[in-house]
Each structure stands twice: as C-alpha cells, then as structure tokens.
Amino acid sequence: MKTLALLLLTVPLAFAADPFVRFSGSDVVEAIWATRTAEPGLSEWGTDPQLGQRVTMPAATIHRAPAPRGLVKLDGTPLFLRVGDNAKRAPLRIETEFHFAPVPLPATAQPFAKNPAATTAPSTTNAAALAAKIIQESKTPRGYCLVTDCDDARLAWELARQSQLIVVGISTNANAVQTARTALDQAGVYGQRISLQHVAAGGELPFGPGIFDLVISTAGPTSPWSMEMKRVLKPGGAAWLGEGVPLFIQKSAENAGAWTHAYGDASQSANSGDRNLEPGRVELRWFGLPGARGMMDRQSRNPPPLVVGGRLYVQGDNRITGQDASNGFIHWTLEWPGLRRVNLPRDSSNMCADEHSLFVAAGEHCWRIAARDGAPLRAYPARPDRVWHWLARDGDALFGSDGLPGKTYTQYQGSWVFWYDAIKAAEITKVCSERLFRLDPETGAQLWESPRGAVVNSTITLGGGRIYFIESRAPEAAKGSGTTNFWADAWLVALDAKTGRQSWEKKFTLPESADPTVLFTCYGSDRVAVTLAGKRYHVFGIEAETGARVWQQSHDIKRFNHGSHMYHPLLSGDRLVLEPFIYDLRYGTVLRDDLPLRPGCSTLSGAGDTLHYTGSSYAARTEMLNLATGAKSAMFGTRASCWLSFISGQGMLFQPTANVGCTCRSPQQTSLAYGPLAPKK
C-alpha cells in the first residue's frame, strides 16, 4: 500500500478546520486548511520526521502549503509535514494510491530526430509549437485526446509531453504506425500516455461515443474522419481542425439533467430530470476508477455521488474524486481526514454542487472547491464552537445550517449497528441543527440567519422560494429525537428563502407514538410531501404556500429489514413514489399499489419519467422502469450501494463502486457509466 504520512502540528485554537490534501494532475500536492483570522503560513516538509525544508507564506485565512518541488515521489515514500509550531498534534496519514494522475513523461525523452526525413508531417520544432498552440486555444491541458491522420506521431508526442493529456493517434498507414510505435517504445514513453492505432480508411473509429476531450485533425474540416470526430467528441469537448479554422465545441445533450444534491436537487426529489434515458436504450460508456479500495465496505448509507457541469464527484472513505462525467478521467483527488459522514437517512449530506463548484461541509467550515482542478476557492465558517450540518446551493445563494459538533454519524466498522438498518435508538436518532442561514457564495456574506429549536436535518427542503423543515421546540430537544418530549412540541415550518422571514408554521403530530425510523420532506407541484416510517409508511401532502394539509395516506411496510422500511420518496412530475405505492402528489389519489418488492437495501432514484434502481441486490440486477410507458429493462451482474449510488444526469447513468464488502452477489469492484444507445447505421 502506498501511503503518504502527513504530520500536521498546529498552533492551538488557530485552526478552524482540519487540513486536507489536494492531488491535482501529476504536479500538484498541497495541504489546505483555514483559520478564522489571518495567520502567517508556516510549513516544514521532509521525507522523515526531522523535516528540513521550511516554507513561509503571507498571512491568510485560507492556507495552501505546496510540497517542495521534487520532494513528493508518490511511490510510497512517506512525507512529513509540520504546519505551525505545536508539536503535540497527532499526525495525519494520507494514502497516495488514490492519486490517479497521468504518469509523467521523462523530461529527457527524445523519440524523434530533430531533423526528420522528408515528409509532409510537421517537423519536431513545428510540432512543438503547434501542440502548444492547440493546448492553449482549446483550454484542454488534461483528459483524453485523439489525433487523426497521425502518420507521423510528432504532434501526438508533443501534445503528451507538454500537457497531462492521454493521447491516442490513428492512421490508415500501418507502416507509419509501426515505425512511430517503435520510436516511442525505444524512448520508453509508449503506452500509458501515448498510443497509436492503425484503422481502416473510411470506417467507424474503434471508440465509443462522446469519449474524447480534444480531437485534432491536421487535415482540416475536409478530413475523412470529420463525422466520426464529432461522434467521439464529448459534450463540451473541443475539435481543432487546423490553422485559422474556428474551434468546434460539441453541444451538450438536450434535456440533460443533473444530480446536484444527495437526493437529486435541493427539493429532495430524488430525480435528475434527465430526459435522455429510457429502459433498454442505454449502453456502457466507460468503466474503471475509482475502484473499491477507497470506499467504505457495504457503504453505510453515506453521501451519494453528484454529477453536474460535466463533473462526477464521488465521495469515498475520507476522500473525494473529481472526474470527467463523459469518460471517467480523474482530474483531482482530495484526501480529507474527518470528512466521513454516514447514516444519511437520519441526517443530511455534506456535499452539493453547481455548474462550476463543489461545496463540502467539513467541521467548522464549508469549502467551495473548483470543479476544474479541485482548488479551494473560499471557506465559509460556522459560528464558533459549532459545525456545518446541512447545505444546499440554489439560485444565487448558498444555504446552510450549523449545530453542535459530534452529532453526525461517522462509524461504519466493527458492528452490525453501523449498517444502520435496524430500528434501535442508536441507529434512528435524527441529527438536528440549531440555526439556518443564507450566504452569498461569492463573498461569503451572511444574508440572513434564523435561530431555531432542533431542526431535523433530513427534513430540510428548498422549493417554491421557501425552505421547509420540521423542528422540535421542546426543552429536551437538544438531547435528540428519541427523547420523550421531542415530538410533543414538533412543528412543520416554512421560511421565505430570500429574506429568512417565517412564511407559516403548523403543529406536526406524529401518526405513531415512537420516534420514526426515517422522516423526510420533498417539494414539487406546489406541494410539500412529508413521509415517515414507523409501523407503517405515512404520507402527508401539504400546500406549500399556506401549510394547509391537503391529503394524508398510509400503507403497509412489506419488510422491516434490508432497507424496505426506510425508503426515501421520489417525485416524477405529479407522482410521488413511495414503494410499493405511487400517489398523486397534489391530491393523494392512489395511482399504483403494485410496484414489485425489491430484494435489497437501496432506495429509488430517477430521471424524468424513468426510475433507475437496484432491482435485486441478491441477484445483482439493476433495472429501469418508465412510469409513463411501462417499459422496463434489467442489467445483470451490476448493483448499487446499500442506500443511493445509482444516479443520473448529463444524459448518462452512473454507478460508482459502492457495495464491496456486502455479502449479496456480485459486489462491484469498478465504477460504471452508461449513455443512450447509439443509433444503428
């Protein structure tokens, strides 16, 4: 196992957030932390505890301490780091095996002579200049690159050498391909970063659709590969077609949704809204990293992945990877001790995202992380002696809540309790917040705050210009939802999302006496739906504008184990799905009561009218069901996590590995991504 031992020795009380480490590309390793006030930055680095290399930085509140150049080998050699001058802080240990950067190319490699034989291909000097120009104009320094008409591989080589691109060159000239392969191989650079393929003239390229970040043709727009180049170019990808020819940018799929919050969006619909995914009409686009090693065994219902703006964010065990949604290329990894949050059915996620940023709640700060490279953009502090709980990104605002530290669930090893499937108090006690607030994400300015009682994190929902939640105002509420009087003084509340002023409140009485196994809210079609599970499932339809109860329903729970007693609701248009029933969201009419019992633990997710879910964990089968047409399909040998890891968005379906360690069949050791089935020619 490759590990990076990080010794962080900090000034007492100076740190408002524990440090994390960013790996980006093959050249960025840095420790990142925040302080509440501007503090000078001091870091000492070394390959043993004696350190030896000292770096000082100006006073700041966000500190970024880069490892000295050449110190980090990423080959398992321990790295030791001291920040500040307190020698009492315990070291953090960071594994480097999850740093998936492209392999650096040897700086001295010269596979091609500087004075090539007579050829129509660019000279080595010209190829170097052209590669630099293409990288700059396309703004694509990393990812997957295809070079067509690659009889001479000098341009392909220069693209790989000057960037962190993984380059594939194609040519119809078999002899030229073999000659270039030999030159690259003899220089020790052929394989991982640059490869060449011989292809038949006029045929279909041997690549799936929408895979490459950058496609290059020196033959210009008249290249015989012009149509194929567009087919293999990913949404938002660039095609360089020659000097003086405008850069071609691939359009994104129409009606492609996003998965920006744990349950799809800030309204907790569990639906991406994507309209490109139909049962039986999807195919595998890519598979690979991140694999099982960086995840939690059985995945104790921890934060689901997110996909938006062309990025897929996957949270593992105290780490996050930011990768390309279209092809799986990992752009950056954050190793984040203390990040872990589990048992989401009784809490809220610690991640949300927008088109350009990932927001991560970790301890006393919420961090804004750049989607492109994982760099920290801003840190938003909670109140002193409090930590971030819930967070949401909606419109031009960042919403959040804070509360006492030590309340979130973090354990997942050593006991069946940490599967969080039983109905004991230790597993179902709800995590609560003390305060809600709205921030300007650009400046960090607080726009309003609303001190509350004990707000149940799993019930906080945004929609229709309001924030909805259930809170307890009982004096004992701070002790937890399992206390005797917690639910005796419970209220369903709506705040104006813009001003924070209360829109309405209604007394909330449990239909059963015990602390619910789960309690959720979601918003759609001018309704706030409240769902809870006890001895039965109960559903309430609330008019969002007034808080008036419009309808109420309940139905049997088919099985009190393996997740069947704790489903999260799903909204699809005016439908509310709470298995095995589908209700009319506005009026409560039963539309269906025959959704099949699913052997396994996961909850449903959806894309528009289509549900996607694990049909059976035992049999390792994922399924899709269109609620409008009734069309259904199954994919065997695959399955999602024990809560929610099968998501959609950007015109695709994603199954990051999240179920290893489970005793059900076919634990999935790789991440999978599916896209719409390509039309037959």
CATH number, domain with residue 575: 2.40.10.480
Residue 39 and residue 82 in one domain: yes
Angle at 318 between CA 315 and CA 319, to 5 degrees: 50
In this prediction, residue 8 has a pLDDT band, given cuts at 50, 70 and 90, of very low
Residue 131 and residue 215 in one domain: yes
Q: Give domain status of residue 46, yes or no.
A: yes
Report d(CA 421, CA 342) in Å as an integer. 12
pLDDT at res. 2: 40
Q: Give domain status of residue 241, yes or no.
A: yes
pLDDT at res. 1: 35
State which of 208, 232, 249 marks the end of a domain: 249
Residue 128 and residue 67 in one domain: no
Written in H, E and C, the secondary structure of 410-449 is CCCCCCHHHHCCCCCHHHHCCCEEEEEEEECCCCCCEEEE
pLDDT at res. 517: 96
Work out the average pLDDT over 406-428.
86
State which of 538, 570, 600 marks the end of a domain: 600
Residue 131 and residue 234 in one domain: yes
pLDDT at res. 617: 63
pLDDT at res. 86: 61
CB atoms within 10 A of CB 237: 28
Work out the average pLDDT over 91-101.
78
Residue 86 and residue 167 in one domain: no
Residue 57 and residue 151 in one domain: no
pLDDT at res. 123: 59
Chain centroid to CA 468: how far?
25
Cβ contacts of 398 within 8 Å, gap of 6 or more: 359, 366, 380, 391, 392, 438, 439, 440, 441
Q: Give domain status of residue 105, yes or no.
A: no
Distances (CA, A) of 527 to 267, 581, 650: 11, 18, 27
Q: Give domain status of residue 410, yes or no.
A: no
Residue 36 and residue 128 in one domain: no
522 or 225: which leads in pLDDT: 522
Residue 129 and residue 240 in one domain: yes
Q: Which is nearest to 92 in space by CA: 406, 338, 413?
A: 338
Report d(CA 154, CA 382) in Å as an integer. 53
Q: Which is nearest to 230 in space by CA: 204, 256, 196?
A: 204
State which of 74, 95, 116 marks the end of a domain: 95
* Average pLDDT of the residues of the chain: 90
119 pLDDT exceeds 60?
Answer: no
pLDDT at res. 91: 60
Work out the average pLDDT over 176-191.
96
Residue 13 and residue 83 in one domain: yes
Contact 560, 419 (CB under 8 A): no
Q: Which is nearest to 599 in space by CA: 614, 579, 585?
A: 614
Q: Give domain status of residue 523, yes or no.
A: yes
pLDDT at res. 463: 98
Which residue range forms the structural domain that includes residue 595?
A: 513-600
pLDDT at res. 365: 96
Distances (CA, A) of 176 to 121, 131, 168, 199, 476: 11, 20, 15, 12, 78
CATH number, domain with residue 233: 3.40.50.150
Report d(CA 162, CA 579) in Å as an integer. 54
Report d(CA 623, CA 615) in Å as an integer. 5
Work out the average pLDDT over 658-676.
85
Residue 7 and residue 79 in one domain: yes
pLDDT at res. 418: 81
Contact 294, 319 (CB under 8 A): yes
Q: Give domain status of residue 176, yes or no.
A: yes
Q: Give domain status of residue 144, yes or no.
A: yes
Helix spans in 51-123 (H): none
> 14-23, 303-312, 362-371, 588-597 — which is least confidently predicted?
14-23
In this prediction, residue 9 has a pLDDT band, given cuts at 50, 70 and 90, of very low
41-50, 590-599, 613-622 — most confident range: 590-599
- Looking only at the bridges linking them, the beta strands covering 212-217 and 233-240 are parallel
Cβ contacts of 513 within 8 Å, gap of 6 or more: none
Q: Give domain status of residue 524, yes or no.
A: yes
616 pLDDT exceeds 90?
Answer: no
Work out the average pLDDT over 605-624.
89
Residue 129 and residue 235 in one domain: yes
Residue 130 and residue 245 in one domain: yes
Number of domains, the chain: 3
